[in-house]
Amino acid sequence: MGTDKYSKLKSILRNMRASGIKVENPDICVISPKIFFADVKKGGDKIRQPQINFAQACLKVGIPFIVYHLVAKSD
């Protein structure tokens, strides 16, 4: 990510929270081979607005945010 992107992300998240925008950290941060954040959903669980807010902050600085949806394996 580098210090520049980290500083920008931190600043955006801080400003969002200071403005009263709720932000929720993702389930996963993968740092190798390339950094990205991810949230994992199962069943009828859907991504909530505070998670979307975090994703938007990531995308503003060029860090991917992925939502994984787990499904049961069928026979």
- Provide the b/e sequence for 34-63 (b: ≥16 CB within 10 Å): eeebebeeeeeeebeeebebbbebbeebeb
pLDDT band at 24 (very low <50, low <70, confident <90, very high): very high
* Per-residue pLDDT at 65: 94
Residue type, 10: K
The pLDDT of residue 32 is above 90: no
Tokens of residue 43, six digits = 């069943």
* Per-residue pLDDT at 37: 92
Sequence spans of domains, the chain? 2-70
* Per-residue pLDDT at 64: 93
The pLDDT of residue 75 is above 70: no
